[in-house]
Structure formats: C-alpha cells, structure tokens
C-alpha cells in the first residue's frame, strides 16, 4: 500500500479526515452550519477569533488580497448606510417593501462584519453615513440622485429612485466581487474566496429583487413579482441584466448616472480573468455564443452571464457617492 492509497482509504473510513488535517476548511463550514446559533453581537468576535486562529493575523494577507477585500468592504458600507438611512425616513419605502429592505440592510451589516473579521488589523476605521454623498454629487450634495432619499419627490413616487439606486449599487457590488475573485484564488485564501462567492451571490439576489420591485412600481402593482418588464429596460428592467439595460436607471435630470455600472471596464477584452467587457457581452471564453444556436439572441446571451468589473472602474462609479469627509478617509480612492 502506498501513501496515496492510504490517504484515499483514510478518507473513505473517515469522511472528515482531510478536514481535520487541514483546519482552514472548517472556518466557513462552521459559519455555514452553525452561524444561526450565534447572536448578532457575537459574530464579529467569533469570526475574528476563527480567522486569527486559522490564518494568523491579517499581516499574512497579501497586499492584492487586502486591496480586494478593502474595496469590497467600502462598497458594503456604501450600501449599508444607504439602506439604513432609507429605513429611517418615513414615507420613503412602501410598506410592502419594508421587510425586504430590512433584510438587505441586515445582509450588508453581516458582510461588513465578515469582511472586517477577515481583514483583521488591516480593516479601515468604520465608515460613517456622513462619509457618503447619496446624491451622486461627489461631495456637492447636489448630484443627479439627490431625490432618492426624499419621499415623493420628482421621480421618486413609491421610492422609484431609491430602488433604482439600490439596483445600481448592488450591481456595482456583484460586478466588483466577480472582478476580485481571481485575486482570492490562491491556496492560502480558498476559504476567503468561498466566503466572497457567497457574498457575491447574495448581492445578485438583492439586485434581482430591486429589479422586480422596479417593474412592479412602473406597473403600479407593488408586491407583484410577475409585473412585466418594459423595453428598453432602464425603467422597468428584467430581474437580470439585458444587454446594458439601456444605460441603467434615468435620473430626474435625464442623466444616466449608472451607465458605467453596465458598460465595459478596463481592459474590455482579453481572457476572462483579465478583462471586463460590458454587460452586453456575447462571447464567453472565446466562444461566440451567437453562433451556438440560431435561436439565441444577443439579449438572451447577455442575460445569461454577468460580467466582472475592474477596481478602477468600480472606484470611479462609487466615488460619485463619496462626501468630502469620505474622500479625506481615502474612501474609493
């Protein structure tokens, strides 16, 4: 019997053998199965303790890994404070949606805790709501999305502009996580990669919901998930991104502040792990999907794949929503 046969037999006899000799794998298994039993307050401490034991200190995270996680953390703060602020404004969020936005806000708080625990001592000082400019005015407070947090203002009936902003934020998040995944794909960071993937898919779930609600608002059918999408999909989008969704939501001043969220990053072409095509991409890994089956339209193909976005483009989008105070803290710089 040789060494490999021995390993194979050991694993057959004891399914957790390999987990036991490689304890890093247990960290997220623990989160996945037992997280429910931990109180919210205890989570940061529990996570921190696990990571410190499993990975040593954050000093062992390489600079590229830290950069990916820090940008992700900043995006989570952008989202968290936006939803948390909105929940505190009477009359902004229709009552049918309060539970959903509360869920989303709480998920972002969880993501913040998870990312801070992974970053450990490298985590930045927590960002405050005053570090953001939700008007999209880069600190002027007078950007195109300023009505998104004003109940019943122009363009914001039933919170339409608020949900539009939520769509743009969560799509920025899902594209940013996708763009960061290859950096986390190292032997030492497999568990961090898995955690990031499990945040990434939740951002996509949130995004799908924002889109579903936006259709319902346009159809005057709040609470109806079956409301129809209306071409060209900037106002009443599908629950998935179709081509570039006509540049995304339109602000009351007629501008398209989210157009970069759906457009290409830099570089736009190359291998999948080193390129950031726009959401209207119809070629995957060098396979031209328009020629695979004659019935596949470019729109359907684009819907079937979401695209990654590079950090520089993500920052250029997100920095529109940074206040002077936030910029001073290096937010999205």
Please identify, among the stretches 106-114, 126-134, 145-153, 310-318, the one whose residues bind another protein according to the rule CB under 8 A. 106-114
Q: Which candidate, 115, 100, 109, 111, places its Cα nearest to that of 163? A: 100
Q: Of residues 58, 66, 74, 113, which one binds another protein by CB under 8 A? A: 113
Segment 153 to 192, residues that bind another protein, using CB under 8 A: 174, 177-178, 181-182, 185, 187, 190-191
Tokens of 145: 């999305």
Q: Of residues 131, 234, 306, 310, which one binds another protein by CB under 8 A? A: 306
Q: How many CB atoms lie within 10 A of CB 315?
A: 17
Residue at token pair 């999909």: 233
Please identify, among the stretches 51-59, 207-215, 258-266, 314-322, the one whose residues bind another protein according to the rule CB under 8 A. 207-215
Residues 279, 281, 282, 283, Cα dihedral to 10°: -130
273 makes contact with another protein (CB under 8 A): yes
239 makes contact with another protein (CB under 8 A): yes
Segment 62 to 81, residues that bind another protein, using CB under 8 A: none
Which CB atom, from 21 or from 128, has the smaller least distance to another protein?
A: 21
**DSSP sequence for 230-270:** BTT-SSB--SS--TTGGGSPPPTTS--TTHHHHS--SS-SS
Q: Which candidate, 176, 266, 267, 166, places its Cα nearest to that of 212? A: 166
Segment 17 to 36, residues that bind another protein, using CB under 8 A: 18, 21-22, 25, 28, 31-33, 35-36
103 makes contact with another protein (CB under 8 A): yes
202 makes contact with another protein (CB under 8 A): yes
Tokens of 302: 């684009």
Which CB atom, from 143 or from 173, has the smaller least distance to another protein?
A: 173
Please identify, among the stretches 153-161, 224-232, 250-258, 310-318, the one whose residues bind another protein according to the rule CB under 8 A. 224-232
Q: Of residues 195, 243, 244, 309, which one binds another protein by CB under 8 A? A: 195
- Please work out the total of residues on this chain that contact another protein, with binding judged by CB under 8 A: 96
Q: Of residues 90, 125, 293, 294, which one binds another protein by CB under 8 A? A: 293
CA angle 70, 71, 75 (to 5 degrees): 115
Under a CB-based contact definition with an 8 Å cutoff, are residues 81 and 169 in contact?
no
Specify burial of residue 65 (Cβ count, 10 A radius: 0-12, 13-18, 19+): buried
């Amino acid at each position: 019997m040789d060494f490999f046969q021995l390993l194979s037999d050991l694993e057959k006899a004891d399914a957790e053998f390999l987990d036991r000799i490689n304890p890093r794998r247990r960290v997220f298994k623990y989160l996945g199965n037992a997280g429910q039993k931990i109180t919210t307050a205890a989570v940061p401490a529990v996570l921190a303790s696990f990571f410190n034991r499993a990975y040593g200190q954050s000093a062992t995270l390489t600079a590229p890994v830290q950069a990916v996680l820090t940008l992700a953390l900043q995006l989570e703060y952008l989202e968290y404070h936006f939803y948390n602020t909105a929940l505190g404004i009477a009359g902004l969020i229709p009552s049918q949606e309060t539970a959903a936005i509360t869920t989303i806000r709480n998920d972002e708080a969880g993501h913040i805790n998870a990312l801070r625990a992974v970053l450990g001592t490298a985590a930045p000082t927590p960002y405050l709501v005053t570090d953001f400019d939700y008007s999209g005015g880069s600190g002027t407070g007078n950007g195109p999305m300023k009505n998104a947090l004003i109940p019943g203002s122009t363009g914001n009936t039933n919170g339409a502009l608020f949900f539009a902003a939520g769509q743009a934020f969560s799509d920025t998040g899902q594209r940013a996580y996708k763009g960061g995944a290859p950096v986390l794909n190292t032997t030492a960071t497999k568990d961090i990669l898995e955690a990031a993937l499990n945040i990434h898919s939740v951002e996509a779930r949130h995004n799908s919901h924002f889109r579903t609600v936006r259709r319902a608002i346009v159809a005057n059918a709040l609470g109806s998930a079956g409301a129809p999408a209306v071409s060209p999909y900037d106002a009443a989008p599908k629950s998935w991104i179709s081509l570039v969704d006509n540049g995304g939501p339109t602000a009351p001043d007629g501008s398209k502040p989210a157009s970069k969220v759906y457009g290409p990053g830099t570089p736009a072409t190359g291998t999948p792990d080193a390129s950031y095509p726009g959401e209207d991409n119809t070629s995957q890994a060098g396979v031209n999907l328009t020629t695979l089956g004659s019935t596949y339209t470019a729109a359907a193909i684009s819907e079937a794949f979401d695209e990654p976005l590079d950090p520089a483009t993500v920052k250029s989008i997100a920095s529109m929503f940074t206040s002077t105070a936030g910029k001073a803290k290096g937010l999205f710089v």
